[in-house]
A and B are shown apart, each in its own frame.
Chain A
């Protein structure tokens, strides 16, 4: 089976996985956004409570995914607390990974997914207020594009599977020819 990680987790990942901080939905959240999907095998839902001066007062998360995914989401909620939206926007996936003692390369996407969810939440916040701060780029960032790509890959897969399935029913062993 494929539970194979060529490089080990840092002790920090294990520690946070064991005791995640800021877990669970937030009832009075200002903005809620998620990234990833169950089909991808990882999904992060981020809840932000944004106060005066666009400062993040509180952040919580839910996560469906591997140990690194859970640890990444947890540490992100700690990192953004007390930051302005503008400061939070600057957090890179690399910073997040470093904060966890360095993720194994195969787990970089966990960190990208978490940052992707955060950037989505920031955009959603301003979009709901019909504001466009000058520091917020219109073009999607690297992390956002990666997340979209991952989500769309699965959509395409299931569409293709649907087609192959119907071809199989119609013409017998479709893959054979």
Chain B
């Protein structure tokens, strides 16, 4: 049977749940109608031309591209439009930052410092550069809530440090790093070290001002703000030189070749506008939904661990819980059949038995990481969505715990 035929049958067997709530905004998400609407004209009624060609559809494309750059620059506290580069994803923006800067710095030897909890689109390019270009990559440990201690970071930075990359907010456990302090200790130890931050999970939730923070490069991702997937952006401070790792025809962007994905950039722009509209209210609203879910689960389900920090030092949209004695992948499938869509840091999909590196870095044991479930919230979630999740979740966990052979060994009974 072909893969697609198999999937058709799988979906038939799965069936249509009576209600659906999507909490997997980490991995991808739906695009709100108002964002889709903003994209549509750029497919076939205007701006469908190449933004660096001299005709009307090209200029229209360039117009929206620059409107988007102005918007992104404004939200990041800069006016330098040439400092903003659109890429085809957050992953590509991180690759451009890490590989692009290290390519431009090759021959200088040196060290690259990343936190142990970075997104893999930071860690893997850094390791790639280690193999390819001879840089030495150092991974800075984090504490049990995922924080990088400025004093610890300081001990990793010396005169040989070329690049430091620490994310603004952790994508799995919502840790809001003390970014300003981290930048300060790096610059004090080595003013020539360039500081990159992956801010994909911070953007629109946590205040970001590149000038005040003193960061040199900063990554954004479209789908993390309800924009379309397939678009990201990188801020590169004026004066920081990158060598583009991808080669091809450069267009309006000087660092990323290929034709700009103008409709997606137009959608990203609209998504950013919406994300920043009523921002303060949205933060409070989303936080209240998140807390309702977390407290509700802790009240109703025994043997649950909260992964990551609590309170103000956690992003308002993030909840990550480990349900002990159940395996996370099984729980994602079980919840899916109940119309609740989440992801897990379990290793069950990987032959090397390695669960989420973030959860291991904060000291979670394998079995604790295997039972982890990530929920991400947005202003589009309703209180009823949380109520529905709270209704279904205890039952789902309890069913899997009944099947579990771990529980019956005496370590657990319920």
Contacts and interface: CB of A to CB of B under 8 A. Distances in A.
B293 to A, nearest CB: 17
Nearest to A18: B337
A150 B353 CA distance: 9
A154 B366 contact: yes
A43 B405 CA distance: 7
Most buried by A among B27, B337, B374, B405: B405
A69 B330 contact: yes
Contacts of B365: 39
Contacts of B370: 38, 41
Contacts of B356: 1-2
A70 to B, nearest CB: 6
Contact of A62 (B156, B326, B343, B405): B405
B152 interface: yes
A139 interface: no
A172 to B, nearest CB: 7
A64 B406 contact: yes
A8 interface: yes
Contacts of B247: none
A79 interface: no
A38 B372 CA distance: 13
A1 B348 contact: no
Contacts of B348: 3, 41-42, 65-66, 69
A34 B311 CA distance: 42
B350 A106 contact: yes
B327 A11 contact: no
Contacts of A69: 327, 330, 348
Given A8-B7, A176-B138, A1 B27 contact: yes
Interface of A: 1-5, 7-11, 14-15, 17-18, 20, 23-25, 34, 38-45, 61-67, 69-70, 106, 109, 150, 153-154, 157, 168, 172-173, 175-176
Sort chain B's interface into a size bin: 35 or more
Given A2-B356, A176-B155, A8 B349 contact: no
Contacts of B328: 3
A14 B11 CA distance: 10
A11 B14 CA distance: 8
Given A15-B13, A41-B366, A150-B353, A3 B405 contact: no
B207 interface: no
A25 B3 contact: no
B330 A65 contact: yes
A14 B10 CA distance: 7
Nearest to A41: B370
A7 B27 CA distance: 17
B345 interface: yes
Contact of B14 (A4, A14, A24): A14
A151 to B, nearest CB: 11
